[in-house]
Structure formats: C-alpha cells, structure tokens
C-alpha cells in the first residue's frame, strides 16, 4: 500500500512538472509571437511611423529654438573648520531663490548686478558620503539621502562639499563663483569660526616652537653632562661597564617639526572659510543641445504613432473585448 502511494505521488509530481514546463513554454511562445507581430506591424506601417517621427522631430526643433541654452559646471571645495553641513544648507538657500525666480534677492545675496543674477539658472550644493568612515568623502550625495535634521546612520565628510552651478551664459561662472564666496564670507558665523580656527592654529604653532626649544635645551644639558662625566672618568681612570640610556631627542623633535609644518600648511592654504580644490570648467557644452530635443520628441511621437496605428488597426477587436 505504501509502495503504491509513493508511485502515485511520483506520477503526480511528474505530471505537475510537465504542466509547469508546458505552461512556461506556451508563455514564452506567446511572448515571442507578440514581439514578431509588433515588429511586423511596425514594418507594415513604417511610412506612417516615419511621418510621426518627423512631426516629433519638428516639434523638438521648435521647442529647442524657443528655449535658452544653459551650461552647468562643478566645483569641489574644502569647508575649513568642518563646516560642510552648515555650508551646504546655507548655499542651497541660493538654489531656493533660483527656483522661485527671485532674481532681486539672488542679486542682493550674491552682491552682483541684476543682469548677472538673471542668467543664473540654479545653484546646488551636495554632501560627500563617507562609506568606510575614514573621514574622507567617497561619493557625492546627489540623491540627498543625508538629512542633517534626521537621525540617520549615514556618515558624511564634514570638510568637503560639491557645488554645481547652471547658467545661461557660458562666461558667467567666474562672476557666480565670486558672488557665492562673497555670500559665504559675509556670514558672521562662518567668519568668527574661521578667525577662531586661525587663532588656534597660531597658538599651536607657537606652543610647538616652545616645545622644540625645550627639547633643544634638554639636548644641550644632556650633551654637556655626558661630556663632564667622560672627563671625570678619564681623570680618575675610572671605566663604567654600563652605558647611559639613549635619549629620543631627534625622534621627538622630528615629530614636533612635522606637526608645526602641518599647522603652517593649513594656516597658509586655508585662509578663507571655503577653499577651492577643483574650480569650475568654463569650456562646457550646453546641457540642452538641439540633438537632445530632436531625439527625445521624435521617439515620443514615434511611440505615440505606433500606439495610434495599433488601436486604429484593431479597434473592432478592442471594442469587442471592452464590451465583453
């Protein structure tokens, strides 16, 4: 009885697998036939589809001629004093003014004429995401996954920001950059923190120099004491089998000198609250070229024309299906 039931189960499983396999085969063949049918219809009505594509290309060319060209470029900067979070939010306020088309407020914020503010399309700032938590940015947060006000596990680079500017005149990047830096430098919070940072660096440099001088004095004392001990031993004809422990004056001094050089380098390179690492590229290509408009609208009208022909050719079947 058990053997017969096992055989029945095996037969049922074989039938089930055969049914599933046949269903997959039929579905694949149906999809294949549908694809061939759509291709055949497109070939049959190619002249109509070409007409729709030409109409779409003409509309794209018209829209291209009626819209201004704009150019975008990127700038990478170091926010001195680890102020990247505050600066990104502060710069994005300019982007809000651009989106609202408030050119008067934008011109006032950037301290530039209204004629230049008018050609600014957008200003955006982004964070750098720190993946391996080494305090260095690994990629730019274009999707804005990081939310400063929210409790998030995403780590960011607190010292580096990514700035993107779009303008309607390819020669306006210098003026916009100057305006953005004026906008940041006029912020009293950033200015005060930057002054504190530079004052602290000066104190560190001064203290490091004092520590180096102390090491030099200790080295001199040690040198003369060793010399006096050697003279005394020679005069008294005394010999010591144990040597005095070696001092690490050289290593300590070298470490302090490296620290001093790092402080000086930061003080000289990072004078303002924001330091440019990679500047704007002025020889940029338009972000909305003619070919883009023609291709986009030609493809859209091609698809629209295909759907129209498909519905028109099989309207009776479609209506009968709808009625049922």
* Predicted confidence (pLDDT) per residue in 195-253, tens digit: 888 888 888 888 888 887 877 776 655 544 554 554 555 554 444 444 444 455 556 77
DSSP H helical ranges for the chain: 2-44, 46-66, 84-99, 103-110, 114-117, 173-185, 188-235, 249-269, 290-313, 315-323
Q: Is the pLDDT of residue 90 over 70?
A: yes
Q: Is the pLDDT of residue 135 over 80?
A: no
User: What's the whole-number average pLDDT of the chain?
Assistant: 80
Q: What is the pTM of this model?
A: 0.68
Share of the chain above pLDDT 70, in %: 81
* Per-position DSSP letters for 151-203, written without gaps between them: -----EEEEEEEEEEEESSTT-HHHHHHHHHHHHHT-HHHHHHHHHHHHHHHH
127: nearest Cα among 191, 178, 65, 84: 84
Measured from the Cβ of residue 222, the count of other Cβ atoms closer than 10 Å reads 13
Mean pLDDT throughout 14-35? 79
Alpha-carbon distance values, 130 to 80, 82, 139 (Å)? 17, 14, 7
* Predicted confidence (pLDDT) per residue in 58-83, tens digit: 999 999 988 888 999 999 998 887 78
Burial of residue 293 (CB within 10 Å: 0-12, 13-18, 19+) is buried
Q: Is the pLDDT of residue 123 over 90?
A: yes
* CA 37 remoteness from chain centre: 45
Q: What is the pLDDT of residue 98?
A: 92
Distance CA 208, CA 214 (A): 10
């Amino acid at each position: 009885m058990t053997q017969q039931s096992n055989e029945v189960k095996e037969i049922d499983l074989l039938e089930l697998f055969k049914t599933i396999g046949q269903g997959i085969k039929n579905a694949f063949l149906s999809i294949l036939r549908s694809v061939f049918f759509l291709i055949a219809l497109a070939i049959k009505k190619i002249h109509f589809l070409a007409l729709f594509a030409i109409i779409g290309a003409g509309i794209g060319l018209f829209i291209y001629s009626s819209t201004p060209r704009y150019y975008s470029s990127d700038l990478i900067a170091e926010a001195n004093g680890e102020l990247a979070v505050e600066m990104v939010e502060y710069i994005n306020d300019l982007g809000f003014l651009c989106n609202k088309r408030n050119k008067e407020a934008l011109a006032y914020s950037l301290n530039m004429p209204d004629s230049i503010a008018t050609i600014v399309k957008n200003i955006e700032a982004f964070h750098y995401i720190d993946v391996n938590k080494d305090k260095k940015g690994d990629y730019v947060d274009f999707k804005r996954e990081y939310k400063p006000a929210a409790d998030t596990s995403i780590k960011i680079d607190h010292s580096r920001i990514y700035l993107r500017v779009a303008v309607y005149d390819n020669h306006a990047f210098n003026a916009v950059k100057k305006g953005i830096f004026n906008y940041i430098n006029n912020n009293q919070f950033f200015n005060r923190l930057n002054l504190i940072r530079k004052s602290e660096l000066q104190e560190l440099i001064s203290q490091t120099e004092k520590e180096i001088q102390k090491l030099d004095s200790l080295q001199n004392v040690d040198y003369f004491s060793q010399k006096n001990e050697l003279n005394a031993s020679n005069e008294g004809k005394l010999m010591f089998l144990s040597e005095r422990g070696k001092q690490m004056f050289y290593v300590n001094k070298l470490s302090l000198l490296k620290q001093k050089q790092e402080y000086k380098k930061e003080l000289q390179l990072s004078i303002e609250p924001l330091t440019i690492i990679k500047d704007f590229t002025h020889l940029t290509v338009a972000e909305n070229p003619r070919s883009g408009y023609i291709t986009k609208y030609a493809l859209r009208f091609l698809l629209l024309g295909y759907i129209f022909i498909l519905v028109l050719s099989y309207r009776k079947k479609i209506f009968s299906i709808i009625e049922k």
